[in-house]
Amino acid sequence: MADRAAAFARAHRAALGWLAAGLLALCAFWAARGHAAAMAWWVARVSMPCKRALSALVDPLPFSVCEAGATALILLALAGLARCAWRAAHRCAAGFGGWALRLAAQLVWLYALVCALWGTQYYAPGFAAQAGMRAPPVETADLAAVTRLFAQNANACAEAVPRDADGVCRLDAGALLADTAGLYDALLPDYPFLAGPERRVKPAFYSKLMSAWGYTGYLCPLLGESTVNVDSSAVFWPVTLCHELAHQRGVAAEQEANFVGIRAAVASGRAEYAYSGWLFGFVHLSNALYGADAGLWADVSALLCPAARADLAANNAYWAGWEGPVHDTGERVYDALLQGYGQPLGVRSYGACVDLLVEYYRPKAAD
C-alpha cells in the first residue's frame, strides 16, 4: 500500500503541488481576514482593480463569459471522467485517482481565487460604514411610516410602466439591458466611493436553471461580470440590475446591495426603475412590518393599488412554480457561502436592508 501511494505521489506530484499551494492560499486568506486594514488595502489595491480590468475585457462580449467558462469546465471534467470510465471498461489503468486529484486542485484554486477577489470584501469596510450610516434598531411606527411611503410612491409610478392584457408589468429585457449607463449618477454626490467604470449587465442563458435555484442575478467574483435572470418576473428586473451594479461597484453584503440598488432605482429618473425600486422596497418593508405588527401591516398593505397588487401576485405565482428541493438546495448553498464569509444572517441578511431603508427614508416619511 505504501509503495502504491508513493508511486501515485510521484506520478502526480505536479497536481499534489498545486493542491498544496491552493490550500496554503486559503490558509493565508483565513489568517488575514481578521485584519480590517489589510483587507481594506487588498480590496482597494488588488481585488477591485483586478476585477475592473478583467470586466473591461469581457464587457464587449454579448454573452456571459462566466456562464460559458463554467459550462466549459463542467464539460471538461465530465470528459475526463468518461475517459477514465472508458479505460476501466477496456481493462486499462483507469486513472480515477489522478482525475479526482486534478479536479480537487482545480476546485481548491477556484475557491481560493473567489476568496481573494470577492470574499475579502466582506472583511473590508462596507457600504454603511463608508456612508456613515448606523442602521439603528427600527421602531414599529417608523417602519410603518416608511412602508406607507413606499406603497404611495409605488402607486404613483404603477401606471407609467408598460402592461399586458392582464394588467401585469411587461418589459423588454434586451432594451433594458442595453441602457444601464448612468444609473448611478444620482447617487454619486452622496456616495462618491460608488464611482466606477460603466459595465453592462448580461442576460443569463441558464435563466430557468437560476430560477430553479432561486437566483435572480449574480456577479462573477473572478471577472466582475454581472448576469441576471431574464426568465423571472419583469417587474423586478430593473432593481435587480441596480443590485448587481452595486456589487460591481464594491458593495459586497447582500443587504447593503439591496439598499443601494433600491436607492439607485428610485433616483434614476426612469419610470420602470423607480416603480421597480419602490415596489421591491415595499416588499422588504412590508414583510418586516408583518412580523412586527400584523394589524399595521394590513392597514398599510391595503394602500397598494390594483396594478401593484397584480405585479406582486404574478411574481409570487412565478416563484411558487419553482418551489422544491432544487430551490431549497440553492438557498442552503448560498446561505452557507454567506455564513462562511462572516455574514451570520446568511440568506436572511437580505431582510436587513430594512434598517437602512428606514434610516434613510424616515425623514421623508415624516414630511
Summary mean pLDDT of the chain: 89
Cell readout for 149 is 411611503
Whether residue 128 lies inside any domain: the answer is no
Residue 301 has pLDDT above 80, yes or no: yes
Whether residue 262 lies inside any domain: the answer is yes
Range of lowest pLDDT (90-94, 148-152, 210-214, 293-297): 90-94
Q: Find the Cα–Cα–Cα–Cα dihedral 193, 198, 201, 202, rounded to 10°.
A: -150
Whether residue 137 lies inside any domain: the answer is yes
Range of lowest pLDDT (32-41, 237-246, 249-258, 328-337): 328-337
What's the structural domain count of the chain?
2
Range of lowest pLDDT (110-114, 214-218, 303-307, 326-330): 326-330
Residue that finishes a domain, picked among 69, 102, 123: 123
Interior/surface letters 221-233, b for 16+ CB within 10 angstroms, e for the rest: bbbbbbbbbbbbb
How far is Cα 68 from Cα 52, in angstroms, rounded to an integer?
19
Q: What global pTM score does this model have?
A: 0.89
Each residue's pLDDT tens digit, 275-294: 999 999 999 999 999 988 99
Based on the fold, state whether residues 198 and 177 are members of the same structural domain. Answer: yes
pLDDT band at 337 (very low <50, low <70, confident <90, very high): very low
Based on the fold, state whether residues 118 and 149 are members of the same structural domain. Answer: no
Mean pLDDT of 220-235: 96
Based on the fold, state whether residues 183 and 250 are members of the same structural domain. Answer: yes
Whether residue 41 lies inside any domain: the answer is yes
Based on the fold, state whether residues 299 and 207 are members of the same structural domain. Answer: yes
Contact 281, 357 (CB under 8 A): yes
Three-class SS state of 219: strand
Mean pLDDT of 139-160: 95
Contact 70, 223 (CB under 8 A): no
**Sign of the CA dihedral 257, 263, 268, 269?**
positive
Based on the fold, state whether residues 105 and 208 are members of the same structural domain. Answer: no
Whether residue 282 lies inside any domain: the answer is yes
Based on the fold, state whether residues 321 and 182 are members of the same structural domain. Answer: yes
| pLDDT computed for residue 335 by the predictor | 52
Whether residue 118 lies inside any domain: the answer is yes
Residue that finishes a domain, picked among 86, 103, 123: 123
The residues facing 169 across adjacent strands are 163
Cell readout for 47 is 481585488
Contact 242, 273 (CB under 8 A): yes
Based on the fold, state whether residues 246 and 358 are members of the same structural domain. Answer: yes
Based on the fold, state whether residues 138 and 46 are members of the same structural domain. Answer: no
Mean pLDDT of 118-145: 90
Based on the fold, state whether residues 165 and 75 are members of the same structural domain. Answer: no
Count of alpha carbons within 13 angstroms of residue 119, beta-carbon side? 22
Whether residue 197 lies inside any domain: the answer is yes
Based on the fold, state whether residues 239 and 139 are members of the same structural domain. Answer: yes
Q: Which secondary-structure segment (H or E) carries 218?
A: strand 217-220
Residue that finishes a domain, picked among 94, 123, 152: 123
The residues facing 220 across adjacent strands are 225
Q: Which secondary-structure segment (H or E) carries 51?
A: helix 48-58
Based on the fold, state whether residues 208 and 284 are members of the same structural domain. Answer: yes
Based on the fold, state whether residues 102 and 234 are members of the same structural domain. Answer: no
Whether residue 111 lies inside any domain: the answer is yes
Domain limits at 190?
133-366
How far is Cα 81 from Cα 69, in angstroms, rounded to an integer?
18
| pLDDT computed for residue 144 by the predictor | 94
